Amino acid sequence: MERRRKHWGWGYEDEQPSPEDLRGAARFLTGRLGFGSTEPEQAVALSEIELPAPRLSPPTALEPICATGAYQRALHCYGRSYPDVVRAFRGRFDHPPDVVVHPRDEHDVQAALDWALSSGAAVIPFGGGTSVVGGVEAGVGCEDHAGVVTIDLKALDRVLEADPVSLSARIQAGATGPRLEDQLAEHGLTLRHFPQSFQFSTLGGWIATRAGGHFATLYTHIDDLVESVRALTPVGAWESRRLPGSGAGISPDRMLIGSEGTLGLITEAWVRVRRRPNHRASAPVRFDDFTAGAEAVRALSQSGLYPSNCRLIDAREAELTGAGDGSYALLVLGFEAAEHDVERWMTMALECCADHGGSWEHRRDGDASAEAVGSWRQAFLRAPYLRDVFISIGVLSETFETAITWDRFANFHEAVLARVSETVREVCGAGTVTSRFTHVYPDGPAPYYTILAPARRGGELEQWAQIKRAASEAVIAGGGTITHHHAVGREHRPWYDRQRPEPFAAALRAAKAAVDPHGALNPGVLIDP
């Protein structure tokens, strides 16, 4: 039998820790954080949940690929943001999709779309369901529709063609990170796009949301890895040519990339892949504080060296993730290449760090310094699992990220930290706000903030909303972007609407109306009809 994903949180049902393990984790985490409960709550069982009756019933021809049972509807009700998991944990599924379709191929996708449109339903494209911004949620924006049909693309998970000459591959949109990497590996190729959600998120989802990936510099977003893309819209297939570069008017790909399911269902794409890296070097570099580290990272980002990893983590976050002792900021620096040794690059990058006060231990394979890098990486990958645990032990956890130019960074960072820390104190009485750079550019960093605070059981959603509002206000007031790589969805809408140029909004609204005349595709996301 297929492993089932948890209907309320991250991972598979069989990965849910036992009550005993959970109590152990609770003791450990509350000890480290200084707050939270050592008595974990349990999620409301699916059997105790009553969902509203489906408003739609699929036609006979589609029945084999349609689900209307509680598990599938609950599983597809939310993404995996903190408020999503809180609601699901407590058994609140007020607006589940009426029908979940699992197309086996593009033909099925077309049939599902046709039926949904003819039924007056809203259509929510669903990849890994890992949105943290309400991107797959039927609750907001779908009120005017006869129902909600969620189209889950996970069965479209194949690498259809590999082109080792051009280093490209044609991949179906529903392929998760591991699925596509496994298939590419058979050709000695790799996409090397590793967002935190890698295990479950899909190529189509990455493209629809402009996901940020593995590389800290240069090719940071999936945008740069897309060679061509194919989507089904209500007015026909939108498919671009495979081109390494083009100057033919406005890029059609760039209009689909970031469209978050509002213009069409992405079914496949040609992406730029690479040979598996044979050469790697990595080092943890210590800085007295985040500010000193940031200056080094600025120099690195402007050096033309393009490190593949260049994540600066503040002292407290390094400590919380076991990558430091809290007395220094840590830069996780790395280079990788398939074709040539990278030692020369690393040497130059370390020289640059030394110029800015960075220090590191003598590098050897498998030594303590590699351990720090490893600790951080493990913590990074386990974070979504941890979120579930946090909820059960009454710890509020939220992250947000942005980007800002270097000239404004110091003031911006100070203002955001101050505003959010103050709000966390007001709302939760205690808590930590830590930060790191996830990606860096010659003209500025992408700072990422993590909040951990004591939650009021049953009051988490209100607490979260207040903190989210304060954070978003601080980001927008300071000149940042409401999201660097987590998309807009429904949760970021108020601030996104202020960020974007008004004539662009008008253009986008009209463009959507042209390809989606009934406003059926992911209503409420990005734009109102």
Nearer to its own copies among residue 86 and residue 487 (C-beta): 487
Shortest Cβ 514–its own copies spacing (Å): 4
Nearer to its own copies among residue 23 and residue 279 (C-beta): 279
Coil/strand/helix, residue 330: strand
In what helix (H) or strand (E) does residue 229 lie, and over which residues does it extend?
strand 226-233
Spell out the alpha helix ranges (H) of 61-202.
Answer: 70-75, 82-89, 106-118, 177-185
Shortest Cβ 233–its own copies spacing (Å): 5
Nearer to its own copies among residue 231 and residue 453 (C-beta): 231
Shortest Cβ 446–its own copies spacing (Å): 6
Shortest Cβ 182–its own copies spacing (Å): 22
Nearer to its own copies among residue 9 and residue 489 (C-beta): 489
Helices 19-33 and 368-392 pack at an angle, to 10 degrees, of: 110
Shortest Cβ 28–its own copies spacing (Å): 34
Nearer to its own copies among residue 222 and residue 315 (C-beta): 222
Coil/strand/helix, residue 175: coil
Handedness of CA 36, 41, 46, 51 (dihedral sign): negative
Nearer to its own copies among residue 23 and residue 280 (C-beta): 280
Helices 406-428 and 460-477 pack at an angle, to 10 degrees, of: 160
The amino acid present at 227, given as its one-letter code, is E
| Nearest CA-CA partner of 332 in 446, 216, 477, 253 | 216
Shortest Cβ 99–its own copies spacing (Å): 25
Beta bridge partners of 523: none
Sequence-ordered strand ranges (E) for 209-368: 226-233, 236-239, 265-272, 274-275, 279-287, 309-313, 329-337
Q: What tokens appear for 161 in the block?
A: 């063609």
Nearer to its own copies among residue 245 and residue 366 (C-beta): 245
| Nearest CA-CA partner of 174 in 209, 205, 195 | 205
Spell out the alpha helix ranges (H) of 362-443.
Answer: 368-392, 406-428
Nearer to its own copies among residue 5 and residue 279 (C-beta): 279
The amino acid present at 313, given as its one-letter code, is I
Long-range (24+ apart) CB contacts under 8 A made by 321-328 are: 321/375, 321/376, 321/379, 321/380, 322/375, 322/376, 322/379, 323/284, 323/372, 323/373, 323/375, 323/376, 323/379, 324/286, 324/372, 328/286, 328/287, 328/288, 328/289
Shortest Cβ 247–its own copies spacing (Å): 4
Shortest Cβ 103–its own copies spacing (Å): 20
The amino acid present at 409, given as its one-letter code, is F
Shortest Cβ 14–its own copies spacing (Å): 33
**Chain position carrying tokens 């960072």:** 413
Shortest Cβ 25–its own copies spacing (Å): 32
| Nearest CA-CA partner of 436 in 423, 451, 417, 449 | 449
Nearer to its own copies among residue 43 and residue 476 (C-beta): 476
Nearer to its own copies among residue 305 and residue 389 (C-beta): 305
